[in-house]
Structure formats: C-alpha cells, structure tokens
Structure 1
Amino acid sequence: MSQTNRNGWTSDHLLKPNGTALFAAQQRERLRQMANEVQGLLHEYQASLGEIRIEGDKPWDAKVRAKRAAKPMASLEKHLRQAVVDAERIHTSYTRFYVELPLKRAEQAKAKELKKAAKDGIRSGREQQSLNTASALHGIGQGVYSDQNGNVPENPQKTESVSFLDFLQKGA
C-alpha cells in the first residue's frame, strides 16, 4: 500500500490509466503559476532596487546592482520553468518505458518469428535447389541435350548422345 502525499497522490493513482498524465498536467499548472508569480515579483523587485541610488553611483550602477541582487530570484524563476518541462517528462518517460516498450518487444518477437519462418522456408528451398542441381549435373554428364532453340526434349535419354565438342561445332 502506498503512502498518500500532501496532494492526495499515491503510486497506485499514478499506475492507473492516464494517472501520470493527470499528475503531470496538475504539477505543470501548479509550477507554471508559481513561475508566473515569481516572474512578476522579480520584475517588480528589480525595478524597485534599480531606483535606489547610493552616493557615488555612476549612471548604470543602480541597474547593474539591482540585476545582480535579483539574480537568485531570476534563477528560481528559470528553475521553475524547467520544472514545468520536467513535469511533462514524467508522463512521457512512463509511457515510453511501460506502455510502448511491451508493444515494441511484441512487434520485435513477431518479426523474429516471421524471419525464422522465412529462414526455414529458404532451407527447404535450398534442399530442393540442390536436388535440381544434381539432376542438372546428371543431364550434363549424359551430354548436352537441346535443340537449336535451347529446348530440352522430354526424355533426353532417347536422343542421340552429343558431346561438348559436337555442341561447340554446332553452335559455330
């Protein structure tokens, strides 16, 4: 059983269909609101600091000092914006590793089975090819049997025996 956090979310809630999508959307909205508040406050704070003049300041010293003093708040705003992006990654990584991966592996297994079946079919085809090659060699051993068009008669055993030399002379 999972512990319930302050917002009422548990890991059981996240594992339900669209649980991570709902959680990510909720966190993105909450973080986006916080980033907008910090951004507004940052601009106001920086403007107020920029108006404070200290004796001996040069023309741009107040603005530079204000920007440097507000830098940690600007960093906070930047990190909140990055957290909004990271909140979306919660759902995308869950989907990638726990929803899409089993489907991808099932497709790969199916492709592997098809490849194996095709490979087994090729093996039996190779055996058939070797038988055809053996009979072709047997026919060559008996002599070259073909007419002028290259056709082999039905029963080459009954035709006259032709040697290779005869074949060359006939072709020339």
Structure 2
Amino acid sequence: MHDNSTRWTSDHLTKPGGTALYAAQQRERLRQMADQVQALLGEYQADLEAVRINGDKPFERRLRAYFASRPLANLEKSLRAAVNAVGKLDPEFQRRFVELPEKRERKAEAKALEKAGKSETVNSRSMNAAAQLQGVSQGLQEPTADATGMAATEGAEPTFLGFLEKGA
C-alpha cells in the first residue's frame, strides 16, 4: 500500500514549481523504464533469432523474432512518447495559468489607457467641430459680394480662392 504523504496530489502540482518538479521526476522515471525496455528488447530479439525450428526458410527466424518482439518495441515507443508528453506538462501549465492572467492584465491596462485617450480625442474633436461650425456660420453671415460675386476677403482670413485670384 502507498503512503499518502509521498503521493503527488493536485495541490502539489499547482504550487509554484510543482509541475516542473513533477515533470522532471516523471520524465526521469519513464526514461529509465524506456531504456530498460530497449535493452530487454535487444536481448529478447537476439534470443528469439537464435531459436531454430525445423523447416525454417532463410530470414524466417528473424521475421518470427521481429513479430514476436513487436509488443515490447511498442511499449518502448509508448514510454518514449510518454517522456515527451510529460515534458509538455509544465510549459502548458505556465502558459495557461501563469502567463495568461498576466497577458490579460496587460491587455486590460492597455485598453483602459486607449479608452482614456479616446475620450480626450473625442472631446477635442467635438471642440474642433464646434469651432469649425462657428467659423462657417460667421462666414455665411459676413460675406459682402463685390462685382465678381465673390466675397470680399480684405481683413479676413485668406482663402484658397483668394490665393488663386492673387496668383492669376
């Protein structure tokens, strides 16, 4: 029976560095198991190839040994895949439970700053629009036409049409 004080729990994994420590321990344990299975596979296959059965054709012993040892080879392959899978445990935990909240916090701060900047921009735009409307309304009230039907621009702000008239 296992002692619960030495057993890994979810609480152990969620502590800082917990998943990294667990992953390192399990990777080493699984790697050792895979190495043992690999060594056993080599010995087993060699012993099976040495067995001669009457009526064997050329390379039949090798094929028979190969097929008989496939389950052991598949076990070794699965253990190597498990080593790789356990290696992904800590990076995934870090990405989803450590980095994600920080990323969301930075994004919320940026959004708040952007929102504050937009409200100032909207206010300045509304002030500019009001000033432009006031200028347009004054321009509609003041013009006095000369003989050409154009508004007199003496003393007023220069206009594009006035610039063209002076240049021509």
The change in CA–CA distance for 1:90 and 1:32 in structure 2 (over 3 A counts) is same
Aligned-pair CA distance for 1:135: 3.5
For structure 2, which runs of at least 5 residues remain unmatched after alignment? 144-150
Aligned-pair CA distance for 1:64: 1.1
Q: Which residue of the partner structure matches residue 71 of structure 1? A: 70
CA distance in 2, matches of 1:65, 1:6: 47
Q: Share of identical aligned residues, percent?
A: 47
Map 1:9-158 onto structure 2 (within 5 A): 9-138=8-137, 140-141=139-140, 142-143=142-143, 156=156
Aligned-pair CA distance for 1:10: 2.1
Q: Deviations over 1:21-77 (max 9, x none)?
A: 101100000000000000010011111111222222221111111111110000000
CA distance in 1, matches of 2:94, 2:59: 51
- Greater shift, 72-81 or 10-19, is seen at 10-19
TM-score with structure 2 setting the length: 0.80
CA distance in 2, matches of 1:12, 1:168: 80
CA distance in 1, matches of 2:31, 2:69: 20
Report SS of the residue matched to 2:88: helix
Q: Deviations over 1:91-128 (max 9, x none)?
A: 12221221111111101111211221122122112112
Report SS of the residue matched to 1:70: helix
Q: Which residue of the partner structure matches residue 7 of structure 2? A: 8
The change in CA–CA distance for 1:164 and 1:77 in structure 2 (over 3 A counts) is closer
CA distance in 2, matches of 1:164, 1:105: 51
CA distance in 1, matches of 2:115, 2:83: 46
Letter in 2 for 1:58: K
The change in CA–CA distance for 1:31 and 1:10 in structure 2 (over 3 A counts) is same
CA distance in 2, matches of 1:68, 1:6: 43
In the comparison of the two structures, how many residue pairs are matched?
Answer: 158
Letter in 1 for 2:77: K
CA distance in 2, matches of 1:164, 1:16: 71
Report SS of the residue matched to 1:22: helix
CA distance in 2, matches of 1:28, 1:44: 24
CA distance in 2, matches of 1:111, 1:76: 50
TM-score with structure 1 setting the length: 0.78
